[in-house]
C-alpha cells in the first residue's frame, strides 16, 4: 500500500490544525478499543487514523454555535 501523506488528508480537511485534532482524537479512540474503519495491517495508530481520514471515513461536524 502506498504511503499516506498530510496532503492526502488535506484533500478532505482544509485546515491543518483541525486535521491534527481529528487525528489525535481518532488515535485516542483506537487505543481505547475502537475498531479500524479501513484495512491497514501492521501500521501504527496514527497512520491508520490518517488513512481513515483520507478515505473519507472520518468527518467533522460543525455545530451551529461554533460557526457564528
- pLDDT one digit per residue (tens) for the chain, 68 residues: 578 899 999 999 989 999 999 999 999 999 999 999 999 888 999 999 999 999 999 988 766 555 55
Q: Cβ–Cβ contacts within 10 Å for residue 60, how many? A: 13
Please identify which residue in the block is written with the cell numbers 482524537.
25
Domain ranges of the chain: 6-58
3-state secondary structure (DSSP) of residue 20 = helix
The pLDDT score that the predictor gives to residue 20 is 95
CA distance 52 to 54: 6
22 and 59 Cβ atoms separated by less than 8 Å = no
User: How far is CA 38 from each of CA 24, 65, 67, 68, rounded to the nearest angstrom?
Assistant: 17, 32, 30, 34
Query: Residue 7's pLDDT is what?
Result: 93
What is the pTM (predicted TM-score) of this model? 0.82
CATH topology of domain 6-58: Eukaryotic RPB6 RNA polymerase subunit (3.90.940)
Amino acid at each position: 500500500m502506498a504511503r499516506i501523506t498530510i496532503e492526502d488528508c488535506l484533500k478532505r480537511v482544509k485546515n491543518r490544525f483541525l486535521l491534527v485534532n481529528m487525528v489525535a482524537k481518532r488515535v485516542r479512540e483506537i487505543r481505547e478499543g475502537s475498531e479500524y474503519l479501513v484495512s491497514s495491517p501492521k501500521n501504527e495508530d496514527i497512520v491508520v487514523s490518517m488513512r481513515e481520514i483520507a478515505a473519507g471515513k472520518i468527518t467533522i461536524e460543525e455545530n451551529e454555535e461554533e460557526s457564528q
